Amino acid sequence: MDKKTLDIKDVGEEFKKLDARFSLLQKRFIAVGLDYSHYIDNSWGEKNVYKLRDEVLYRLFCTRFHLELLLQHHLSIKHQIIEKFKKEPEFFKREYVGSNPLFEHYQKEISAIFDSTIFHMTSSFDYIATLCNYICGQNKEQKYKWSQLSNAARDNKNVFSSTQIKDVIITIDKEFVSKLYRHRSDVIHYTSDQNLYSFLMTIKQTEITFTVRFILGKNIVREFSDLRTLNKENNITVIYGVFWAVNKTLDKITDILFSLKNHMESFPKINRGSVFDYDKDTNTIKPTSSTYWEIEEYKK
């Protein structure tokens, strides 16, 4: 049975949704900094927590930027093929030994940008591991990698095993991050996972249309059960795959941020922050982060 092609139908709309998610995540990172000042350290002056927070946000910015580059280059390739056909239509009628050299070149370009997107995505978890250590750990100056954080969470003798973030870190590592790391390591050290091209030229009486797609590499599909299931009956495009991976990354980082929120609320180091909101209805003091978290949206 021939496989169907699993692709994003409306890339513009999907990117708009993803952009909204990035904006919401940025607000929640701001909330983490505000909660740190409310529950952990209300002293004035520049705090490392803001610097570490901004480092994670920068890595996520890089992820978004490379996703955008991938989408733009995909459109550029289609335009280049159309222009090539106008100038040299016989090129598409030739038979080639092995792959068409032009399409193979495009395949490498798309694979390179996809790899970079994955690299930035994976690095964001190293960055957030250092932020987690700064908020929950004993030695705030220690730099953590994600693997160190996940191992610490599993170690009953480590302080992280008694934090509110423990279970979240272990679950996220098992379900997603360890697989992402393994894929990145394989690509960097052992073998490329290039995305094969799929090209269709449809000739009608009044027009010729080109459909250009790139199919997700076998190695990354093999790492994730969700992708393996989808791949049984579908060829998954790179565009579908990159949206899937970025959305998963935002899901997992959001879970980490809320676990940090719970940890700071459960184990405060100070009575309250120097800046706070007062709720007249309940006669209670609340952290200024309340409006940034958008908790109801998270519970959906």
3-state secondary structure 43-74: CCCCCHHHHHHHHHHHHHHHHHHHHHHHHHHH
What pLDDT digit, counting tens, does each position of 281-292 carry? 777 777 888 889
Q: What is the pLDDT of residues 71-80, one digit of tens each?
A: 999 999 988 9
| Burial class (CB within 10 angstroms; exposed 0-12, middle 13-18, buried 19+) of 73 | middle
CB 41 within 8 A of CB 266: no
Using one digit for the tens of pLDDT, what is the confidence trace for 78-98? 889 888 888 888 887 788 777
pTM (two decimals): 0.90
pLDDT tens profile 225-235: 999 999 999 99
pLDDT > 70 in the chain, percent: 94
For residue 63, the one-letter residue type is T
Report d(CA 78, CA 45) in Å as an integer.
Answer: 52
Residue pLDDT, tens place only, 98-152: 778 888 899 999 999 999 999 999 999 999 999 999 999 888 888 999 999 999 9
Distance CA(296)–CA(288), nearest Å, equals 17
CB atoms within 10 A of CB 1: 4
pLDDT score at 203: 62
Q: What is the mean pLDDT of residues 272-296?
A: 77
Mean pLDDT of the chain: 89
Read off the pLDDT of each residue in 235-264 and give the average, rounded to a whole number.
97
Over residues 185-196, the mean pLDDT reads 86
How confident is the model at residue 45, as a pLDDT?
61
Determine the Cα–Cα distance for residues 33 and 291; give it in Å rounded to an integer: 13
What does the alpha-carbon distance between residue 178 and residue 236 come to, in Å, rounded to a whole number?
Answer: 22
pLDDT digits (tens, 9 = 90+) for 203-245: 666 677 778 889 999 999 999 999 999 999 999 999 999 999 9
**What integer pLDDT is reported at residue 235 of this predicted model?**
93
